[in-house]
Amino acid sequence: MPLVSPLLAAPGAIAPPDDHPEQGVPWHWGDPFAEQRTAARSVAVVDRSHREVLEVTGPERLSWLHLVISQHVTELAEGTGTEALVLDSQGHVDTHMVLAHVGEAVYLDTDPGPEATSALPKGGKQTLREYLEAMKFWSQVEIKDVSDELAILTVLGPEAGRVLSALDIELGTEPYSVVPVGRGFARRMPWPGRSSVDLAVPRGELVDWWRRITDAGARPAGTWAFDALRVESLRPRLGVDTDGKTIPHEVNWIGSAAHVAKGCYRGQETVAKVFNVGRPPRRMVLLHLDGSPEIYPETGDPVKLGERVVGRVGSVAQHHELGPIALALVKRSAPVDAELLAGDEDRVVQAAVDPDSVPAEGAAPGREAAARLRG
């Protein structure tokens, strides 16, 4: 059953459309563009309590996790966190998660729903918990789904520190710093935007925490605002910006979520080989979309260069400054300064690659293409 936030019943909360991946939490609170501006310039709070949370305890929790996820965590200090993946045997991304090491436990939180599943090599699906349970063998670890106990709220914006201080939360400035907060924790994130902090609070106290945070000056914002800033930050969402062939190198998860030097995890050979001797076949870019027709592509739609398909559309967002934007996986061979078409059927629009989203080898003229669409 999907997790449903009690804040959906609050005055002003607008639920997402039925086919939207952010089911269970407010999509916006009446003015999504103003919510974005506040999150970018001041401070806002987003209900992300639909995220699934696992707790891993036991004396071998770090050494065991080190063997089954893509990140180096044998020395993950208490009071820190990181991001990590589960890969299949070919190095394709199955699951993305964010970690927090608090006290005697490591918490793993993931996006909700089918996108948070891990694909079995021979087909079918298993949840992240099922995958971890299958890999436990004789290790001294315990795995517990605590999604019904802990809920995630995200405070974001340059004034997030002021709100944290009002809540008596003293958090370090380094990315992935973690401190215990009652029965939960606070974790600083490097995205989206300039300052973002995840708060894991008791689910039964979610409404009280929301009230305390907004009383401290944070504006209520929905997942619409969060996603727009996530897209601007070039941070992918599993199952939206990835497909069954995605490897970590294509979506900026090398380093942040996948370690290239450590061995002993499924898919590591692909990670090391592509990093050391090759280039990934695709790369994730930011597309500026022509918004004049007031139609937009959808996740999974093709990206074309002329009649040739060169990629797929991922997250599509309406940004308060950039206008309509999208993340897309495009072939490395596709020129970044070309005018592209994004969408399918009656929702095809012109698109231009933002050159700042392309590694150093990208060509600067892409900025001119983006300007043509805006002007």
Q: How confident is the model at residue 113 (pLDDT cuts 50, 70, 90)?
A: low
pLDDT at position 367 is: 37
Q: How confident is the model at residue 302 (pLDDT cuts 50, 70, 90)?
A: very high
Lowest-pLDDT range of 54-58, 262-266, 369-373: 369-373
pLDDT at position 73 is: 96
pLDDT at position 363 is: 35
DSSP class of 218: P
Please give the backbone phi and psi of residue 203, each rounded to the nearest 5 degrees, phi first: -60, -35
**What average pLDDT score do residues 100-124 get?**
72
Structure tokens, 137: 């063998």
For residues 278 and 54, give the distance between their C-alpha atoms in angstroms, rounded to a whole number. 35
pLDDT top residue among 372 and 232: 232
Q: How confident is the model at residue 127 (pLDDT cuts 50, 70, 90)?
A: confident
Place of tokens 């991946």: 21
Q: How confident is the model at residue 169 (pLDDT cuts 50, 70, 90)?
A: very high
**What average pLDDT score do residues 240-249 get?**
95
Q: How confident is the model at residue 374 (pLDDT cuts 50, 70, 90)?
A: very low
pLDDT at position 125 is: 63
**Segment 343-356, tens digit of pLDDT:** 999 999 999 999 99
**Segment 57-94, tens digit of pLDDT:** 999 999 999 999 999 999 999 999 999 999 999 999 99
pLDDT at position 149 is: 98
pLDDT at position 121 is: 43
**Segment 132-144, tens digit of pLDDT:** 999 999 999 999 9
**Segment 193-210, tens digit of pLDDT:** 889 999 999 999 999 999
Q: Is the peptide bond before 192 cis (omega within 30 degrees of 0)?
A: yes
Q: How confident is the model at residue 360 (pLDDT cuts 50, 70, 90)?
A: low
Give the list of residues 6+ apart from residue 77 with CB closer than 8 angstroms, or none: 101
Kindly tell me the sign of the dihedral angle through the C-alpha atoms of 146, 151, 155, 160: negative
Decide if pLDDT at 361 tops 80: no
Name the E strands within the chain.
Answer: 44-47, 52-57, 81-87, 93-102, 105-110, 117-119, 125-127, 142-145, 150-156, 178-181, 184-189, 196-202, 219-221, 282-289, 302-305, 308-319, 323-331, 340-342, 349-353
Q: How confident is the model at residue 263 (pLDDT cuts 50, 70, 90)?
A: confident
pLDDT at position 117 is: 47
Which domains are delineated in the chain? Answer: 6-51+148-233 (3.30.1360.120), 53-145 (3.30.70.1400), 281-367 (2.40.30.110)
pLDDT at position 262 is: 86
